[in-house]
Structure 1
């Protein structure tokens, strides 16, 4: 997969994640206003908020990883040679790729198990496997981007392309 394809995919995921967050925000405001004025909030607003924000975060992770927007603590490494720092960046990116792959795999397995169990949310009765399954694509793409970044750093390039 090329850098351009990863960039387009992660941008699409981020735009979708941002859209989901906006819908959740609008629903939350509407529910609060309805609660204040009519004493009738949107049923299941907390469930929908939890599901929506989890999805939004998962979808925005690849974009953040692509741009190196994660926190980097370089207090102990700032005086090391560039080559050593790039190798450490490669190792960190490789560890993140492994973690994202593991999380993507386990959320997928969890989605299957929850689907087979027929578990639903308490108020709306939404199938809970949707929540698990919706997390896997963002985690998988984040892992793939981190793997590409690890390879790039190991070969002497920067963690993030400009």
Structure 2
């Protein structure tokens, strides 16, 4: 019976992001991106009127306050929404969190009057590209040498778009 506690499939809830989440978001962003954003940058973005986000937390964790499993930060202005950043813990591949976070951001964009959503993704990020394509995003443009990794290698950003209507 004790083995069930340790092998239980994690369960998550997606909730509205708050400024209290920014420190953990900064830590996760720094783990997943070559140039992480600090908590002050997240707070400043979140305080902007048109910016919103969601966090994923494990609901069946053995901790008092479950750690941040993932988040998405977006904004909507004049009918156009944009994913500013999204990150999921590396230890949770293919758990469906990216999918659920993106759906939450897309629904909120629509509720705010968004007609389309844009995002940028590293052209070498196969898992993210697969997710975005499954969600109906299509390549709308390319920015060569946009990203730089920790070793200084540069890669292109693909600009992707999806209609929300």
Q: TM-score band (shorter)?
A: under 0.3
Between the two structures, name the one with larger relative contact order (CA 8 Å, sep ≥ 6).
Answer: 1
TM-score relative to the length of structure 1:
0.26
Which is higher, the Rg of structure 1 or of structure 2?
A: 1
Higher helix share: 1
TM-score relative to the length of structure 2:
0.26
